[in-house]
Structure formats: structure tokens, C-alpha cells
Amino acid sequence: MKVVVTGLGALCALGENVETLWAAIERGDSGIAPIHRFDVTPFETQLGAMVPLGDEYENEERRLLTYGCKAAAEALRRAAVVDRSQVALALGTCNGSLGKDIHLGSIDIARVLELGGPAITLSTACASSTHAIAFAADLVRRGEVKFVLAGGVDILCQDVFAGFHSLGLLAQKPCAPFSIDMGTTLGEGAAFMLLETEQSAQARGVEPLAELAGYGLSADAFHDTKPEPSGMGMARALAAALQDAGLDPKSIDYFNAHGTGTAANDAAEWRAIQRIFGDHAERLPISSSKSFLGHAQGAAGALEAVVTLLAMAHHVVPPTLHLTEPRPNSPADPVAAPKPRPHVARNAMCANAAFGGANAALVFARNSIETRSRRAEPRSIGLSGVGAVQDWSRLNQSVPLTELRGLDASARLLASAVTTVLVDARLRLRSKDCEEIGLFVGQTHVSPESYQAFGKSIHERGLAHLSAPAFTRMVVNNATGVCCRLFGLKGPTATLATGPDSGLTALVLGANHLAWRADVNRLLAAAVDEPRPSDSYDNAAACILLSAQDPASGAPVRLTAWALAADRETAVAQALARAQRRRAEVSPMIVSGPPASAALRAVAAAADAIRRGDPGPFLICDRGEGTASAAVILEAGSRR
């Protein structure tokens, strides 16, 4: 089933809509300029790519909501979607409203735009909106929803600017990816695309802009902020995206790179491209939209995808601006020009990398891809290991103490839960057994411990000299990235939130990924709860190891069905229908506990009951208090 793009919306430093954005790119205009919204005099650079209308709002929450709503509304309008009750939301954001629950932005955007579908929030730092587009495609392809608004939004505030400054990553001149002038320029903005099936677009009489042909995700498992130097992590995401699209690397006609302008990132990305594309890399046009837009953080991937689709529609490739002299280990053709050049791209790729070692890649196609063969039936999913923890005492016995220094409470809790599950599954920790395992985590906010440390650093040292390590932990996916590094998990990785019971949403998305794709065979679904002073719950984390099974192998515990919907009753009804069960035939399993991990703790309890001889089936659903509702059914593995 083909997933197509039927509407685009954008808001950035180059304009308030898609037309003004593209007109600026055609003129060769850059959105990078001196920052006036907040005080940048303490810093070595004063440049940013700011949205002009953002200066009208003193409140950062209002600014974030306005950006997101304007771009999302434009995508809806261009796609000619009338019935918004059937529209879901997949929002990617790095920071949201800094320090607050990451899913609150999704609540506000869905409310203002009157969207009736489920909403999920992806927060994988600077790859967030790329992840959002990827998961949105799965929701459409699997029939969970009819339409999805997929994209991202982030604003640039003084604290974030100061944090990147502390890492020494900001350029004193406008960002010039692949050039000898190194460093990045931060930006902000929002971008969305409307995704639906090809059949849906045809029935509505809407002409698709392109097909979202495939995506790939991976983890570096290398460092909290630096990419794996050989590019192997990014290469795995590129390979998975091409495999998902059913395309040979030589069929890609344009590559919109992450291209931050920093020495480590640009070199690692080029090595990844060389690994996957071979000799074709020398002929492939590779440019970076960040030279126009700055680095829009969690919105970067969606904005760059919009630029890519517009370039494909106009039969050009956008240039890399500001490039003076190419540096070593950079693309052979970075499209160094002041304006776009003519070029027909039938198929194009976008890629993004992020703190925590998260990589994501998308493939867009404007020609019909008839040779791709997708799985006709989902693979059976078994539960190979379960675990729930409330402290990290066991972690000290499994991971060298030197590697635990500097970890916040969320990272320690999640790592302890992962340790428990890997031991339960009889897998050797930190071995090749772990390398192909993915990790999807439900987490609602940045570690309160790290948030407090970041604030203390600013108070004691000032913005211009704040602690760089403290800033690197100010992303929601920090704990996820730490676990990938500690245990060598290099499969698909994502961090997401739907509010309470986010862990069960991670389980559902993980099951979807495993059941239908060939790039991973085992995946950890987890959740972590580290309370803030105002919260009334205790520390907790839970984790489940999902394994794709041969139906004849008879896994002891089987995930019979799963569903994601806008409300709990719909999710339960869909799960029961897929399991071919009546409500009276299933036993509800409810375990109280902290919000994000409570439902996963119930899954673990149901799995333990099945192992003890109770065949089930067990129904686990969330409490219906988040932006989406999930439901799963577990039973003994003998039933066909």
C-alpha cells in the first residue's frame, strides 16, 4: 500500500508559507541573520535563522503553538482535507516548551486544529520530525488512521542557543556545510506534510506530490553528542530506508543531507553515504538546506523534507550556500552555487542525525515504484523478556562503574530495566547479541535531575559559560541514547510520548515495526518515570523484549494483537477484532504505578502469569488520559 504526500506547510526564517519559502530558495536568499529577539552579546556568535513573526510573541509556549498551527493548517488546506475528525498527528520536537511535558504541544495543536485522530509526539533531538514522518507512514500503511499530519516544530530560545555555544558548535559566519568554514547556525520553525494512501488520494481526486517510499532508523551506540566517525550508524539507517523503498542506491537522484556544518557530523555523514552509494556517491548531488534555514532542531528534518519535495516538483536541486572551499571528507558534488540548478530527481533521500546517536532517513519517489514487494502478512510477535524496576541497584553489578558516572536518574532507571530484560531473555550484555536490537522508549519529560543541574549551571556560571555536559542531557531521548551506548543497541531507536502510558504506545509502535519490516528482528519497548518534586509517584521503569517469530516456533508468550486509536474503547475494540476475540474471552490485567510505565508493568505481569501456566488471553490497555490510546492482547504461544 503506497503512502503519498498530498499537502505541505512550512514556516521558517525564509517565509510564512510554502510559496515564500520556495521563492526565497529560488532567489538564493539565506534566512540567517543577526539575532535580535534575545541578548546574544555574551556569545562569540550572534547569528540565527529566526522566524520574523516570532518576535510578536513574548511567551515561548504561544510562539511554539503559533508556528506549529500555521504550518499544519497550511498542509491541511493544500491537501483539501475537509473532515478533520479523521486526521491524526505525528509531531516531532526536540525541546517543546523547555522543561515541560513533551506531548503538551501535540495536545494544543490538535485542539486548535480540531483534529480527531490519535496524536503521538516524537522527541529524538534533531531527528525528531524525521522520526515523526516515518511513524506516520506506518500508521497510514497499516490502516490505523486515514490521514496523518506529520512534521515538527521548535523555537530558538536563549537557553538552547547558550547550550550549543557551550559545545563549541556555533559558527561565527553563516552555516556553510561541507566548507572549510566550520560550525552550525541554529534556526527555528515548523513544517508538516499530510500523508494518506494512494487509494485515498485517488478517491478524493487529489494529485499526490510524491510517494513516501521508505524510511530507516538506527542508533550509533557511540556517544551522547558525537556521531560514530566511520558513519556506520547513519549507513544502517540509509540502507534500511532503501530496503524499505525497494530501491537500488543508484536510483537515488538527489540527497538532502543533515549537513550541519560541523566537522564531525559532515565527515561521518559523507562516509555513510560513500558506504551505501559506492561510486554513485561521486556523481550524486548532495546539498544541505541548513545553509538556507539554519539548524531548526527538531523541526529540521520536516523542513528539509519539504524543501526536497519542492525541489523534485520544480525539477531542480537546491544548492549549498556559503560554500567557499570544500573541506576534506566532503561530498564530490555539494551543489555549490548561489541558486538551484536544473535537475530531474525521480527519487530523493533526506537524512538526519541527533544527540544520543539517533539516525533517520526518508526516501521520496515521484515515479511509480512497481517492483517493490512488501510483506503480505505480519510476522508473529513473541515476548522474549520482561522486566520492571524501581531503582538501579542491579545496574551497578552489570555495567562498569566508570560508565555510570554522569548519568541522570532517568538514564540509570532505563538502563536497569534494559539490563533486567536482557538477563531474563538470556542474552549476553554488551555483546554482538545486542547489536541488532532496537529500542523504543516512552518518556514524557526531560530528567528532572538533569533539568535542575542545567538550571544550576546557568545560575552559577552564567549563560555564556554553562556546563556543556549538563546541556547534552537536556533532551528527552538522552536516556534512550545512553542505553544504546551502554549495551551496544544499534537497531531502530525512538523516544516518544502520548502522556500517561506512553510505554504502551512504544510497545504498539515497536510491534508494528517488527511485524511488517525486515530490518530488525528484536526490539525493546520501554518506559521510564522519574518524578518531579510536584509529582506523586516514585521512580520506575519497565521494559519488554519483542521478537519476530516464525508462527510455527510456538513462542511461550505471544502478542496476539495490538491497536492504536484516539480513544481507549476504540483501541480495545480494534485489538479484540484483530485477535478474533470477544470481550468476555479476555482477562484485563491492571497494575497500578507511575504513569508512563504502568501499562508496560501490566504487560510484564501478564507475561509472567502465562509463563506460570495461565494461558490467558490478557487484555492490557491504557487509562485513556493521553493524546492516543493503545491496547494489546497477550496469550500463550500455542494458539494459531
The full DSSP string for 448-496 is: HHHHHHHHHHHHHH-GGG--HHHHHT-STTHHHHHHHHHHT--S-EEEE
Strand partners, 559: 381, 634
User: 103, 131, 165, 295: which one is catalytic?
Assistant: 295
What is the largest distance, in Å, between two alpha-carbon atoms of the chain?
Answer: 70
CB distance 54 to 71 below 8 Å: no
Strand partners, 272: none
Strand partners, 618: 587, 634
> Considering only CA atoms, which of 206, 218, 210, 207 is closest in space to residue 193?
210
Computed on alpha carbons and rounded to an integer, the radius of gyration of the chain in Å comes to 23
Active site residue 280: no
CB distance 269 to 227 below 8 Å: yes
CB distance 475 to 127 below 8 Å: no
User: 165, 258, 322, 513: which one is catalytic?
Assistant: 258
Active site residue 621: no
Three cell numbers written together for 38: 534575545
Q: Write the secondary structure of 568-636 as one string of H (helix), E (strand) and C (coil).
A: HHHHHHHHHHHHCCCHHHCEECCCCCCCCCHHHHHHHHHHHHHHCCCCCCEEEECCCCCCCEEEEEEEE
CB distance 31 to 156 below 8 Å: no
User: 12, 69, 94, 126: which one is catalytic?
Assistant: 126
> Considering only CA atoms, which of 134, 174, 192, 160 is closest in space to residue 293?
174
CB distance 258 to 353 below 8 Å: yes
Q: What angle do CA 601, 419, 122 make, to 5 degrees?
A: 65
Indicate left, alpha or beta for 110 from its phi (over 0: left) and psi (-120 to 50: alpha): alpha
What one-letter code names the amino acid at 368? Answer: S
CA atoms within 13 Å, Cβ hemisphere of 589: 25
The full DSSP string for 88-120 is: EEEEE-SSSSTTS-TTHHHHHHHHHHT--S-EE
User: In 354-408, which residue ranges form alpha helices assigned H by DSSP?
Assistant: 395-398, 401-404
E strand or H helix that includes residue 263: helix 263-277
Instruction: Give buried/exposed letters for 372-397 (b at 16+ CB in 10 A, else e).
Output: eeeeeeebbbbbbbbbbbbebebbee
Active site residues: 126, 258, 295
